[in-house]
Amino acid sequence: MTRRVIAQGTFDILHPGHLHYLSDAAALGDELHVIVARRENVTHKAKPILPDRQRRDMVDALSMVTEAHLGHLEDIFVPIERIQPDVIVLGHDQHHDPEGIRAALRARDIDCEVTRASGREPAYEGELLSTGRIIDRILAVRDDEAESESSDGAPQ
């Protein structure tokens, strides 16, 4: 019998933390289905920069992922009902309440386990495990470069 696992997230800019999360999730079953949140549904943090389909396509290209799906616009449980998972794996730092998810699954007669992936510490100094921190670093480096160019008298 095939054991299906679901992971979900925004996956705006893929980074080693995402790979760790998805590897943890994949290790719990035979198939890993990943639900990529639609931009309109992201309300707990900054909206993704990359388009929905691009984020889905990037996740789908990862070797541990069986299939990546876009989330449903109105009801986050629609893809879960379609996939019929045995396990839903939440990211170690995701805002979701596991007990609230379990209750919603029971109300829909979906029988599956809900667990959390382990966290991952940076493997070396400067390794970024957060999309927000990657974006902050890009902005800081670009600002530093722009200041350096303007102080050197180089044309902007």
Q: Which residues carry a binding-site annotation for ATP?
A: 10-11, 15-18, 93
The Cβ-side half-sphere exposure at 3, using a 13 Å CA radius, reads 11
Residues making up the binding site: 10-11, 15-18, 93
Per DSSP, which regions of the chain are E strands?
A: 4-9, 31-36, 67-70, 87-90, 113-116
CA distance 36 to 47: 13
Distance of CA 32 to the CA centre of its chain: 13
